A and B are shown apart, each in its own frame.
Chain A
C-alpha cells in the first residue's frame, strides 16, 4: 500500500506476531500461534479505521502491537513517521503519551480501589505532565469533556454504571492529549440503550480534538457506522480493506459477504428479502492454519489453486483492497 508518509498517522508493514507454545521444564517451543500473519495497513490522520473479524482473528493483537505492548515477530510499525517496532521499552514511553487506549471491559480495566479522579489523572503522573493543582484542574476538565460530573471524582469504580465507567476509561485515554486512540471493543459490554451514547461521544471527541481512531469490534454495523475505512480480518490476515460504504455496497471477498449476510438487521421487511450465506464449519486453529488462502476450506468459491498460494492484498480500484484470487 503506497501512501505518502505525511498523511499517515500509523503505517504498518508486513507485521507478524507469533506467540510460542512451550512445553516441559525447559519451555521448549513446540508450535507457534500465528496471531498476525503478515498484515499491512495505514491509518490516516483524523481518520477512523475499523477492524472487524471474529474472535481469535487477531484484531486485538493488532491493536496491542500498534501500542507496542507486544514485541512483533517481524515487520515495521511507523507511528507518525518513526519506526517504533524495534524500540526498547524506555524509548517507547514518550510515544505512549501520543497513544490512548480504551478497553472492552469497563469493569476489569479500572482499578477497583482507586478513585475515578486518580484513575483519570494517573497517565499524567506517569508521564510527569502535571502535578498538584494543575493535575486536578486537568482531571476536572477531562470529566467535563466526557460528560461526567466532576463532583464524582472521589468515588470508586463500583459506584458508577457501565456506561459511566466506560466514560472514565475514555477520560483516562484522553489525559495526555494523544493523537491516536485504540478503541478495543469499547461498547460490546454495554447495554443497547447506552451504546449509542458512547458512540456519539467518541464521534464528538474525534471532531473537537482531531483524534485518529483504530476502532476494533466484532459488530460490523457499529464499525461501519463509526469508521471511514474498514479492514476485515480472518485468521491473522486482512482479507478486505476499503471505505465503509463501499464495503457494504460492494463486498468482494467471500468471507466479507458471508459476514455481512450473517448480521441480522432489525427490520423484518428487509430481513425477509435477504439471502443468508451460512458458512460451513468453524474457524480453524491459528496454530495450524490451512495452507494457501486461510479461508479456502469454508469458501464456496474455492478452486484448487486457493490451497496452494497465499492471495496478496491487492487494489482492485479506488482504494478497495481484497485478498482473493477469484475476484
Chain B
C-alpha cells in the first residue's frame, strides 16, 4: 500500500477576541491508498478543523495554519496558495469532501445538473453535453432513481438522504485519490444512514480511493474503518487499527468514551453506564498539560507537572498520548 496523504504536526490556531484557540495542535495522520480511516472525537475536538486545514479551506483570518506539513502524493500542499491554481487543481478533483449538512452545502438556486457539471467542466475539461451525460451516470451510480429527469431538479426537491447522495456523486465525479466525509450521516435517520454508508463503501472499493470518515459516532467507524484516530482538545490521543482501538483501548479518554455509550443488546437494568466526569475543556488559552487530565480517573502526579505527552507506541501500529500504563492496572 502506498502512502497517499501524510499530515505531519499540523497546527491550526484561531485568534479570537477571547484569546488564542489551538483548534488543531500538532495533528499527524497518514492515509494509505484505498484505506478507510476514522477520525473520531466530540464536537470541538478539532477533527473538522484538521481536514479543512488539509484542504486549505480554513477562513483566514481568524484562522491560521501556523505549522506542519501536508504531503499529498509526496508534495507539501500547504506551500500552495489557498486560492492558487495548484491548490484548485487538487481541491474538488483529487481531494474531495462530503459535508455534514447537504442542504447548506448545495447551492439552493442552482439545479443539481449545474452543480455536478460545473465540476466536470472545470476539472476534466468536458463539454456541456458530455458533462451532462456523465452527471446522469454519476447520479445513477449513487442510486438516485429516475436520474435523467431529476437532474434538473433543485436541491429543495430532494429529501435529506437523496441530497447526501448528490453530495457523494459530486465527491466521486473526478475519480479522486482521497475523499473526506465530515459527519456524512449525522443529519439522517438510521436506515438512511445504513444505505448511505453501504453506498460509500461500495463506491470507494470500486474506484479504489481512500476515505477519511470524520464522526463522533463510534459505531459508524467500527464497521467501516481499518484504522482509527481518536482526537481530544485539538490533539490525537490514540491511534491504531480498528480491532485494537475497540478491543484493547489504552487511552483513558477512549476507554471512557466506549464505556459511556449504551450497546445494543445489553439488557435493560443489567449495566449502568459509566460517564466521563466533567466537561470537555474550553479551548481558549489552554494549559500545557494534558487536556484530559482534569477528567481522568487514572491521572498521576506526573500528568500535572509535565506537558502533554508525545504519542508512544503500545502495540502493533497502536499509539497513545498518555503517561499512564492502563494495561498494567
Contact = CB atoms under 8 A, between A and B. Distances in A.
10 contacts: A161-B279, A191-B280, A192-B257, A195-B260, A196-B274, A224-B268, A265-B222, A267-B247, A267-B263, A278-B194
Interface stretch (A23-31, A87-95, A135-143, A197-205): A197-205
Contacts of A194: 275, 279
A244 B268 contact: yes
A105 to B, nearest CB: 15
Contacts of B272: 200, 203
Nearest to A266: B218
B224 to A, nearest CB: 9
Interface in A258-283: 258-269, 271, 276, 278-279, 282-283
A46 to B, nearest CB: 13
Contacts of A195: 260-261, 275
Interface in B159-181: 159, 161-162
Contacts of A271: 219, 222-223
Given A163-B279, A196-B275, A282-B162, 9 more contacts: A196-B259, A197-B277, A221-B262, A227-B268, A244-B267, A262-B193, A264-B220, A267-B246, A268-B243
Nearest to B275: A196
Nearest to A197: B275
B256 A267 contact: no
A193 B42 contact: yes
B10 to A, nearest CB: 23
A310 B296 CA distance: 54
B30 interface: no
Interface string B224-259: 000000000000000000110011000000001111
Interface stretch (B70-78, B184-192, B303-311): B184-192
B212 to A, nearest CB: 17
A14 interface: no
A224 B264 contact: yes
Contacts of A196: 259-261, 273-276
A221 B161 CA distance: 22
Interface in A216-254: 218, 220-222, 224-228, 243-245, 248
Contacts of B17: none
Contacts of B275: 193-197, 199-200
Interface of B: 42-43, 159, 161-162, 189-195, 198, 216-220, 222-223, 242-243, 246-247, 256-268, 272-277, 279-280
A216 to B, nearest CB: 14
Given A193-B257, A194-B275, A197-B275, A220 B264 contact: yes
B195 A278 contact: yes
A30 B49 CA distance: 48
Interface string A280-310: 0011000000000000000000000000000
Contact of A282 (B43, B161, B216, B262): B161
A195 B256 CA distance: 12
Contacts of A218: 189-190
A192 B260 contact: yes
A54 interface: yes
Interface of A: 54-55, 161, 163, 191-197, 199-200, 203, 218, 220-222, 224-228, 243-245, 248, 258-269, 271, 276, 278-279, 282-283
6 pairs of A and B residues whose beta carbons are closest in the complex: A264-B219, A196-B275, A225-B262, A196-B260, A266-B218, A262-B194
A265 B190 CA distance: 12
A54 B261 contact: no
A35 to B, nearest CB: 17
B247 A269 contact: yes
Contacts of B280: 191, 193
B138 to A, nearest CB: 20
A266 B191 contact: no
Given A193-B275, A265-B222, A279-B195, A260 B243 contact: no
A306 B88 CA distance: 54
Given A55-B189, A276-B194, A193 B276 contact: yes
A243 B189 CA distance: 23
B232 to A, nearest CB: 10
Contacts of B195: 278-279
A3 to B, nearest CB: 20
A286 B159 CA distance: 14
Contacts of B192: 54, 282
A204 to B, nearest CB: 10
B188 to A, nearest CB: 9
Contacts of A259: 190-191
Contacts of B273: 196, 199-200, 225
A124 B243 CA distance: 52
Given A195-B260, A221-B261, A276 B190 contact: no
Contacts of A226: 262, 268
Nearest to B216: A192
A202 B322 CA distance: 33
Contacts of A278: 191, 194-195, 198
B219 A263 contact: yes
Contact of A192 (B42, B267, B268): B42
A263 B262 contact: no
Contacts of B267: 244-245
Contacts of A244: 267-268
Contacts of A220: 190, 264
